[in-house]
């Protein structure tokens, strides 16, 4: 939290191509996850140690959370939601490491995540029942509502991006103001507040993504059941 900037800093520039610190930290997080998963999978044991038990507990907790919302399709959706939760948790707390900045303080990163959620909703919906059954729910209960369905898709995607960006920026701003006013007398409370808020925002973003995906899958499943059982 050494600096508070609404946009990312440009680290390297090759003509029109710019590599910012947000992109660098995002790829660093993804590489760390890949390396951790690779090492963990190479050392799986029937009698797991503490690290394996911890990783299995995280996966099981996420799987149970997704299963409560999507009991029939949780195995399909769990990898995406788990990856989203873990990435956001680490990204939101990265600013606590000296010399690092949270990539989620950049609106372009949160927008990219929101767009990823937007396409995942359609991907899982189409994969679950087919593109015809999925697209049909946009015309129900009346084709006149099609513009409103499309507008809701755009607005909730924008709200998802702005919500995370605004919360992360405001959290850093409050921390900076408190440090300027209180000096070194308030670092521990600020640290605890940042950890809690970062984890909460990661959970909210992932939960909203799960709800959007579930609504896309369940909506077209309900429509299919009504066609099969008109009575």
Residues 30-74 pLDDT 10s: 999 999 888 878 777 777 778 788 888 888 999 999 999 988 888
Output the pTM of the full model: 0.81
The pLDDT > 90 percentage for the chain reads 30
The pLDDT > 70 percentage for the chain reads 84
Q: How confident is the model at residue 225 (pLDDT cuts 50, 70, 90)?
A: very low
Give the separation between CA 26 and CA 104, rounded to whole angstroms. Answer: 9
Q: How confident is the model at residue 230 (pLDDT cuts 50, 70, 90)?
A: very low
Q: How far is CA 91 from the centre of its chain?
A: 10
**Which of 16-30, 161-175, 190-204, 217-231 bottoms out in mean pLDDT, i.e. has the lowest?**
217-231
Higher pLDDT, residue 151 or 128: 151
Q: How confident is the model at residue 110 (pLDDT cuts 50, 70, 90)?
A: very high
**Which of 15-24, 83-92, 100-109, 154-163 bottoms out in mean pLDDT, i.e. has the lowest?**
15-24
Is residue 44 classed as helix, strand or coil in its secondary structure? coil
DSSP 141: S
**Domain residues of the chain, as ranges?**
10-228
Higher pLDDT, residue 48 or 199: 199
Tell me the mean pLDDT in the region 199-222.
83
Higher pLDDT, residue 89 or 194: 89
Is residue 105 pLDDT above 80, yes or no? yes
Give the separation between CA 218 and CA 38, rounded to whole angstroms. Answer: 34
Q: How far is CA 199 from the centre of its chain?
A: 11
Mean pLDDT, all residues of the chain: 81
Tell me the mean pLDDT in the region 214-224.
63
Residue 97, judged by CB atoms within 10 A of its CB (0-12, 13-18, 19+), counts as exposed
Tell me the mean pLDDT in the region 112-116.
94
First to last CA, the chain: 61
Q: How confident is the model at residue 7 (pLDDT cuts 50, 70, 90)?
A: low
**Contact partners, residue 50, CB within 8 Å, separation at least 6:** none
DSSP β-bridge partners for residue 12: 19
């Amino acid at each position: 939290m050494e600096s508070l900037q609404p946009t990312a800093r440009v680290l390297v520039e090759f003509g029109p191509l710019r590599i910012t610190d947000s992109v660098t930290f995002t790829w660093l997080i993804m590489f760390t996850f890949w390396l951790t998963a690779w090492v963990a999978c190479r050392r799986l044991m029937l009698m797991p140690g503490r690290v394996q038990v911890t990783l299995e507990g995280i996966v099981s907790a996420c799987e149970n959370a997704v299963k409560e919302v999507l009991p029939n399709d949780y195995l399909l959706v769990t990898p995406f939601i788990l990856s989203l939760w873990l990435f956001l948790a680490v990204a939101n707390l990265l600013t606590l490491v000296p010399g690092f900045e949270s990539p989620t303080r950049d609106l372009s990163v949160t927008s990219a995540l929101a767009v990823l959620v937007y396409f995942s909703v359609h991907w899982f919906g189409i994969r679950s029942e087919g593109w015809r059954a999925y697209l049909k729910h946009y015309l129900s209960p009346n084709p006149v509502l099609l513009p409103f369905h499309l507008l809701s898709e755009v607005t909730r995607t924008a709200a998802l991006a702005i919500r995370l960006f605004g919360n992360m920026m405001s959290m850093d701003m409050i921390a900076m103001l408190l440090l300027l006013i209180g000096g070194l007398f308030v670092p521990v409370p600020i640290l605890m507040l940042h950890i809690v808020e970062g984890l909460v925002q990661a959970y909210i973003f992932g939960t909203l993504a799960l709800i959007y995906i579930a609504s896309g899958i369940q909506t077209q499943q309900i429509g299919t059941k009504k066609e099969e059982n008109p009575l």
